[in-house]
């Protein structure tokens, strides 16, 4: 396959993915925006006023980066898992599998689709946050690179979930029982400095904790961790998950009999 053919195939997959989540925007773009808006109102505005400062910032300012990150993680993940599992379920994945497309192009297209939705929701949430607080991004390069890498990572994770899923229940289990607790315990709503030492150590085992803090560092210029750890962890996880995804595609697990 020529490079131009590969590029066209990649673009086709991305276009299809974007068209899919745009077509059902009421299900994909509106609910996360409303949920996060409620977080802003309840935690940031109503409860936050009583909390006062957190990590040297107004509570609303403190939670905005974490909430943006949460929406990007959840939407990147759920776009790939729901799109690819539906394709498996409806057998439309066969269209991709019979075509002369290398596995890495298939994967890249799906990941780019997941990123598009994750970042689209991230932008919507960011714009909404401006209604509640000013946003002065301290380190734009760190902010953008952390959000992009996180989006890639959770799109890859969503793909692995979709490969192993055998029912629609299976695509809800990981987001509900693993992802959401990890995000909530990843310092979205609090500074890890508030926790007893034991729970600080436990938090350090949660990879999302590093991503949330690095993103907060990019926006506010303050973090509980050294952002280099966040980059290292992201690169390692992306490399491992990407390798797993390519291996799963090559082996045909869950998609070829």
Binding site for another protein (CB under 8 A): 1-2, 4-6, 8-9, 11-13, 15-16, 19, 23, 90-92, 94-102, 252, 256-257
- How far apart are the C-alpha atoms of 48 and 202, rounded to whole Å? 25
Q: If you search the block for the tokens 């150590």, which residue do you land on?
A: 201
Closest distance to another protein from the beta carbon of 160 (Å)? 20
- How far apart are the C-alpha atoms of 139 and 137, rounded to whole Å? 6
Compare residues 6 and 144 and give the one whose CB is closer to another protein. Answer: 6
Question: Which of 92, 113, 85, 154 has its CA nearest to residue 17?
Answer: 113
Question: Which of 147, 98, 109 has its CA nearest to residue 20?
Answer: 109
Closest distance to another protein from the beta carbon of 32 (Å)? 21
Compare residues 221 and 254 and give the one whose CB is closer to another protein. Answer: 254
Closest distance to another protein from the beta carbon of 253 (Å)? 11
Compare residues 4 and 176 and give the one whose CB is closer to another protein. Answer: 4
Question: Which of 215, 238, 214, 218 has its CA nearest to residue 227?
Answer: 214
Closest distance to another protein from the beta carbon of 85 (Å)? 14
For residue 58, what are the β-bridge partners?
53
Burial of 139 (0-12, 13-18, 19+ CB in 10 A): middle
Compare residues 15 and 193 and give the one whose CB is closer to another protein. Answer: 15
Compare residues 16 and 231 and give the one whose CB is closer to another protein. Answer: 16
Closest distance to another protein from the beta carbon of 119 (Å)? 23
């Amino acid at each position: 396959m020529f490079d131009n053919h590969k590029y066209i195939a990649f673009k086709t997959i991305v276009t299809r993915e974007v068209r899919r989540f745009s077509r059902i925007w009421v299900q994909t773009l509106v609910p996360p925006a409303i949920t996060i808006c409620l977080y802003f109102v309840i935690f940031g505005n109503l409860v936050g006023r009583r909390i006062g400062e957190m990590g040297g910032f107004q509570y609303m300012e403190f939670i905005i980066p974490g909430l943006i990150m949460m929406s990007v993680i959840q939407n990147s993940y759920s776009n790939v898992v729901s799109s690819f599992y539906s394709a498996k379920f409806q057998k439309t994945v066969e269209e991709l599998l019979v075509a002369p497309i290398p596995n890495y192009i298939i994967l890249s297209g799906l990941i780019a689709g997941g990123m598009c939705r994750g970042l689209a929701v991230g932008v919507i949430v960011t714009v909404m946050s401006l209604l509640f607080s000013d946003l002065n991004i301290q380190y734009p390069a760190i902010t953008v690179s952390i959000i992009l890498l996180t989006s890639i990572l959770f799109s890859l994770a969503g793909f692995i979930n979709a490969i192993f899923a055998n029912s629609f229940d299976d695509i809800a289990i990981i987001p509900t029982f693993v992802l959401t607790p990890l995000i909530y315990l990843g310092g979205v709503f609090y500074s890890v400095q508030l926790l007893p030492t034991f729970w600080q150590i436990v938090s350090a085992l949660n990879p999302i904790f590093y991503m949330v803090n690095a993103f907060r560092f990019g926006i506010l210029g303050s973090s509980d961790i050294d952002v280099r750890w966040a980059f290292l962890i992201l690169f390692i996880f992306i490399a491992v998950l990407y390798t797993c995804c390519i291996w799963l595609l090559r082996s045909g697990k869950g998609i070829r009999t």
